[in-house]
Amino acid sequence: MHKLIFFVLAMPFAFCTREKQPWCDFAESATSGRTTEFLQKVIIIIIVIIYWLYTELMLIVCVASLILDTLSACL
C-alpha cells in the first residue's frame, strides 16, 4: 500500500492521460506564447534594475575614491 501511495503522489499526470483534448486547450507555444512573452518582459525589467543598481554603486565607489584621495592629499 505504501508503494502505491508513493506512485500516486509522484505521478499525478498518470490520471489525466486519457483525456488529451481538454488539456490541449492549455498548451501554448514555447517561443511565442503569452507566458513566454510575459516572462521576457519581466526579465528585461529585472536586467534594467540590476544594471541601474550596478551603475549607481560604481558612481558611489568613484565618489568615495575621490573623497579619500582628496583627504589623503590634505593630510
What percentage of the chain carries pLDDT values higher than 70?
65
Predicted pLDDT of residue 30: 79
Task: Look at the block and give the residue holding cell 540590476.
Answer: 50
Is pTM beyond 0.75? Reply is: no
Predicted pLDDT of residue 8: 53
pLDDT tens column, 40-73 = 999 999 999 999 999 998 989 898 888 888 888 8
Q: How far apart are CA 71 and CA 46, in angstroms?
A: 37
Q: How far apart are CA 30 and CA 44, in angstroms?
A: 18
